[in-house]
Amino acid sequence: MVEKVKPYVKDFWRYRHLLNNLISRDIKVKYRRSALGMLWSVLNPLLMMLVMYVVFSQIFRMTQMNRGDVEVNFAVYLLTGQLMYNFFSEATQTAMSSVLSAAPLIKKVYIPKYIFPLEKVAFSFVNMIFSLIALILVMVFTRTPVHATVLLFWVPMVILFVFNFGVGLILAAGTVFFRDIMHLYGVAVTALMYLTPIMYDVSILPDWARAVIPFNPMYWFVSMFRDFVIYGEFPGINAWIGTCMSALVALVLGLALFKKSQDRFVLYI
């Protein structure tokens, strides 16, 4: 087993700088010629949240998302959900086309190909860290009380990283052979967003939707993150199973599928 994994580890070690380089290139390209540069990464989620906050608080009259005696401002509730969901949707969507857009490279030199989806997930992770700053600002501004569990905020992020990488591998490999996956997945991400309690609480859902929602991995990621960060609770066993199992299944499936098809990529891109 160890012997089998060794060449992969060696390969990864050799190309770790490529990973760094690609991430910093993505950052450079993203902020080139914008006056505010990196600041946009914080500003963007703030402004998006502001828009949604205004819509929901003014039109739908939602201002508090309390649980028990913990009072939570709707803006904080919204931003925590968005943070997790945006990481998922950005990471998987960019990973999906990562192999295709690396075609010029893949056709010219040998590079371990999983680098490309991995890089996109890592880049989205960096973007999420910027959004985290926005979240902290909003939490301070709304005087949201913090609990000791907040120190574990990174746990769902790391599990979600693994989940995203697994899903990204599956999508990246699939898209090489069938471009329609790109269009389908865009729709799927939107549908899944409405099935994730980002701007509503599960209690408002009809029975059928409440029966379906446990099968949505993002539901578990979002609720685990909120438990840690705003409700000061340790997530229940279901949340752990929901997040860890979906990450594991996605990763194993993704690696297997990717490994099986990667030698044929160069013939289809």
Over the Cα atoms of the chain, what is R_g?
Answer: 20
Q: 46 vs 257, which CB is nearer to other proteins? A: 257
Query: How far, in Å, CA of 56 to CA of 15, rounded?
Result: 46
Applying CB under 8 A, what is the total number of residues that bind other proteins?
28
- Looking at 105, 155, 192, 205, which residue binds other proteins (CB under 8 A)? 105
Stretch that binds other proteins, among 40-48, 99-107, 188-196, 208-216 (CB under 8 A): 99-107
Q: In this structure, how many other beta carbons lie within 10 angstroms of the beta carbon of residue 232?
A: 15
Asked if residue 104 binds other proteins (CB under 8 A), the reply is yes
To the nearest whole angstrom, how small is the minimum distance from the Cβ of residue 93 to other proteins? 18
Q: Alpha-carbon dihedral of residues 193, 212, 152, 171, nearest 10 degrees? A: -50
To the nearest whole angstrom, how small is the minimum distance from the Cβ of residue 237 to other proteins? 39
Please name which of 134, 170, 137 lies closest in space to residue 259, comparing C-alpha atoms. 170
Q: 13 vs 208, which CB is nearer to other proteins? A: 13
Burial of 87 (C-beta count, 10 Å sphere; 0-12/13-18/19+)? buried
Region 152-181 residues binding other proteins, contact defined as CB under 8 A = 177-181
Q: 61 vs 108, which CB is nearer to other proteins? A: 108
Q: Are 23 and 124 in contact (CB under 8 A)?
A: no
Asked if residue 15 binds other proteins (CB under 8 A), the reply is yes
Region 16-45 residues binding other proteins, contact defined as CB under 8 A = 17-18, 20-22, 25, 28-29, 32
Query: How far, in Å, CA of 261 to CA of 26, rounded?
Result: 26
To the nearest whole angstrom, how small is the minimum distance from the Cβ of residue 100 to other proteins? 11
Q: Alpha-carbon dihedral of residues 41, 45, 47, 51, nearest 10 degrees? A: 160
To the nearest whole angstrom, how small is the minimum distance from the Cβ of residue 169 to other proteins? 19
Q: 25 vs 210, which CB is nearer to other proteins? A: 25
The encoded tokens of residue 108 equal 């010219």
Please name which of 98, 117, 99, 119 lies closest in space to residue 23, comparing C-alpha atoms. 119
The encoded tokens of residue 126 equal 């960096």
Stretch that binds other proteins, among 104-112, 149-157, 195-203, 227-235 (CB under 8 A): 104-112
Asked if residue 59 binds other proteins (CB under 8 A), the reply is no
Residues forming contacts to other proteins in the complex (CB under 8 A) are: 14-15, 17-18, 20-22, 25, 28-29, 32, 104-111, 177-181, 263, 266-268
